Structures are given as C-alpha cells and as structure tokens.
Amino acid sequence: MSNLFADLPAGLNLAEELVEVLIQSQHVRVERIVSTGHASPDDFWFDQEEDEWVVVVKGAVELLFEGEATPLSMKPGDHVLIRAHHKHRVVRTTPDEPTIWLAVFFRSDDSTA
C-alpha cells in the first residue's frame, strides 16, 4: 500500500517538479506530480501524444491553453481532460505548500470522453 502524501520533499525549493509513475501499462500511465511554485517557461507549451486527465489533490494550479486568454484555475478536487496535442502550459502552482496532482495518460480515438 502507498499514500499520495507520503515521501513529499522536505523543503519548498525543488529545482524541478517531482514526477513519480505510480502505475503503468501498455495503455495507461498514472503519475503523481509534486510542484512547489513551478511554472512552465514563457516560451514552452506541452504538446503531448497522449490524452491526459489531471486532478488536483492538494494546493492549486493555473493552466493556460493555447488560444485562451485566461488561465484555468484549479483547486483540490478540480479535474480536466486535456486531449492529445491540445497545447497547454503551467502558469503557476502554489509556492507556499506542495501542490499534488495526479495525471492519467492514455490514448483514445474517442473524442467524446
């Protein structure tokens, strides 16, 4: 058994986000991501081959999607489905506590999920 809140970094000064694969198969991958005030570089956009469903467990996140003027603000319990090749970036995560989120990556031909 494991716990999503176990083995968190001791300080809030992570050089990079902590990404841990919790489970993986040929068709799906689940990651725990721990952020402490992280943001994507200004000129960087995630452009992924897979769909990604992400949920915030603790802290807060702001995601910006290409073509949108206003970031999507997410708090614990909020989740969003990001389709493959929908460019997005992390605007900010909470700097004063770890932000914990789960990301589920999968490939789907179904555009209605």
Q: What is the pLDDT along the chain (113 residues), one digit of tens a residue?
A: 889 988 887 666 677 888 999 999 999 999 999 999 999 998 999 999 999 999 999 999 999 999 999 999 999 999 999 999 999 999 999 988 899 999 999 998 754 44
- Residue 93 counted as domain residue: yes
- Residue 36 counted as domain residue: yes
State the total domains in the chain.
1
- Residue 37 counted as domain residue: yes
- Residue 38 counted as domain residue: yes
- Residue 112 counted as domain residue: no
What does 37-72 look like in DSSP terms, one character per residue? S----TT--B--SSEEEEEEEES-EEEEETT-SSPE
pLDDT, position 111? 47
Any idea what the CATH number is for the domain that residue 35 is in?
2.60.120.10
Task: List the domain range (segments joined by +) for residue 29.
Answer: 18-106
- Residue 5 counted as domain residue: no
- Residue 81 counted as domain residue: yes
Query: What is the C-alpha to C-alpha distance for residues 57 and 68, in angstroms, rounded to an integer?
Result: 24
Name 33's bridge partners.
Answer: 19, 101
